[in-house]
Amino acid sequence: MDIKDLQRENIKTLKPYSTARDEFKGQASVFLDANENSFGSPLPANYNRYPDPLQLDLKDAISKIKGVPIENTFLGNGSDEAIDLLYRAFCNPGKDNVIILPPTYGMYEVSANINDVEIRKVDLLPNFQLDLEKIAEAIDANTKMIFICSPNNPTGNSINRTDIETILANFKGLVVIDEAYINFAKQKTFIQELTEYANLVILQTFSKAWGLAALRLGMAFSSRPVIDILNKVKPPYNINQATQDLALAALENIQQVNDWIKITVSERDRLSNLLAKLPMVKKVYPSDANFILAQVDDALGTYNLLVDKGIIVRDRSKVSLCEGCLRITVGTVEENDELIRVLTPQPPKGG
């Protein structure tokens, strides 16, 4: 399979935007090519200049942590941007289709709708695993991508590794594995499989374990042809200089991040146990992520009770297969205690 053949027709011949600096940066000291303010910036010195379009310093630092070469790494304005660019680069509107596996992360569908690309939904099985037979039936010659979220949002479980491997071995389009929550999972990343499958795309993000949701920085790891195509269609300066600088600084703090991951996982397990003991909680689903899906007697009532007490969770009760469920992010120890306190029925006041 040639990845280039998967591209959307107009992208095959797209001439990407280029700058004079792409070619000659190393040789020059005077930059009069990009209509910037040559005098300076009211902020840090280099902010008057456009940022490195390929973010090589940042990718180099990420590569040291992830073990993925920089030419196999794409950075997006959140992984949401990578999702959108995958549609724009690979899917012909009105012709191609993609497969999504509900209940799952909402942006796969929203991005498809924005890009006018047909989606084919194959529900997860009641145990939130893949329905391989139905997936195989849904695939046709125009199926360009399949989105597998593992650990899955909002259900929290990891998808069986052998099922994902079956899809990788058989599907000719792009297999996009969204590993936004991988740092909290017992299951290990598919990064090691990148060298084996040119059509594997792995999404990860700095928004969850890394605690940098506000910076908007997501990663896509894939084969060279996929990364080259994403670079061709991305906006020229999609990762701003402040994000590049701050993310580089953050990467020095991996120990802190690893400590938070440990606490989050232990709090997830403690909170799951406490939730399971509450009378209004019917079921707590096992989680490999930093949130818990819990089925309660009266989801809307419980949601509103929490809002009244200043606690916001995510109401997923209308989502198919998640009927009656709330999705609860694991908070700090104090926040989790507060949640349980608010949800614990008060004994009637004696008198």
Q: Near ligand PMP by CB under 6 A, which window of 72-80, 159-167, 225-233, 263-271?
A: 72-80
Contacts of 31 (CB under 8 A, 6+ apart): 21, 38, 49
**Residue 207 touches ligand PMP, criterion: CB under 6 A:** yes
The CB-of-178 to ligand PMP minimum distance in angstroms stands at: 5
Label the pairing between strands 97-100 and 118-121: parallel
**Residue 153 touches ligand PMP, criterion: CB under 6 A:** yes
**Residue 243 touches ligand PMP, criterion: CB under 6 A:** no
Contacts of 263 (CB under 8 A, 6+ apart): 333
**Residue 178 touches ligand PMP, criterion: CB under 6 A:** yes
Q: Near ligand PMP by CB under 6 A, which window of 51-59, 76-84, 129-137, 293-301?
A: 76-84
Backbone dihedral region for residue 117 (phi beyond 0: left; psi -120 to 50: alpha; all else: beta): beta
How many residues belong to the site for ligand PMP (CB under 6 A)?
12
CB-nearer residue toward ligand PMP: 7 or 150: 150
Do 98 and 108 touch, CB atoms closer than 8 A?
yes
**Residue 180 touches ligand PMP, criterion: CB under 6 A:** yes
Q: Which of 55, 79, 97, 264 binds ligand PMP (CB under 6 A)?
A: 79
Q: Which of 205, 243, 302, 329 binds ligand PMP (CB under 6 A)?
A: 205
Q: Is the dihedral of CA 265, 329, 177, 206 positive or negative?
A: negative
The CB-of-115 to ligand PMP minimum distance in angstroms stands at: 16
CB-nearer residue toward ligand PMP: 202 or 343: 202
**CB-based closest residue to ligand PMP:** 78
Which residue spans within 59-207 are E strands per DSSP? 73-76, 97-100, 118-121, 143-149, 174-178, 200-205
| Three-class HEC string of 187-209 | CCCCHHHHHCCCCEEEEEECCCC
Helix (H, G, I), strand (E, B) or coil at 221: strand
What is the C-alpha to C-alpha distance for residues 251 and 273, in angstroms, rounded to an integer?
A: 33
Q: Which residues bind ligand PMP (CB under 6 A)?
A: 78-80, 105, 149, 153, 178, 180, 205, 207, 213, 218
